[in-house]
Amino acid sequence: MKPIYVLDACAMLTVLSHEQGCENVVALYRRAYLGEITLAMNKVNLLEVYYDIFRSYGSVRADEFIANVKQSPIIVNDIFSDDIFHEAGRLKASYKISLGDSFALAQAIILGGALVTSDHHEFDVIEGKENISFEWIR
């Protein structure tokens, strides 16, 4: 089975903004294109990115972004299993994190993958307390 990496919104935004750490996410894209790994993202986190682009650049750029994601190797999960639903709720209640972050974490936990993020202020308190690995991009 291929390793699974789940992107959160900040990982995607890092690439779009060419911020420090974007090269790490781009390397994962390349590996996904080659079929070496599975790259996933949930629709809640995708909405966070869409919203950010829409707010900053308008609907045309935001829609272009979604079209590009659909042509990429990213598997967008838009239907949540009961397992992910319940796990996201547990995580949000336990750690008082954002809804998007709770879904990203739950997806990574349920899929047995690593969460790709730079969001230390949200996830440092969780690392080591949950059965999840993080792929820190910076």
Give the CATH number, domain containing residue 115. 3.40.50.1010
**Per-residue pLDDT, 75:** 97
CA 93/CA 5 separation, integer angstroms: 24
C-alpha distances (whole Å) from 22 to each of 14, 26, 57 are 5, 6, 20
What is the count of structural domains for the chain? 1
**Per-residue pLDDT, 80:** 87
Q: pLDDT averaged over consecutive 10-residue blocks of the chain (138 residues)?
A: 96 95 97 98 97 97 97 94 96 94 96 96 92 95
What tokens does 134 get? 């993080």
**Structural domain range at position 79:** 4-136
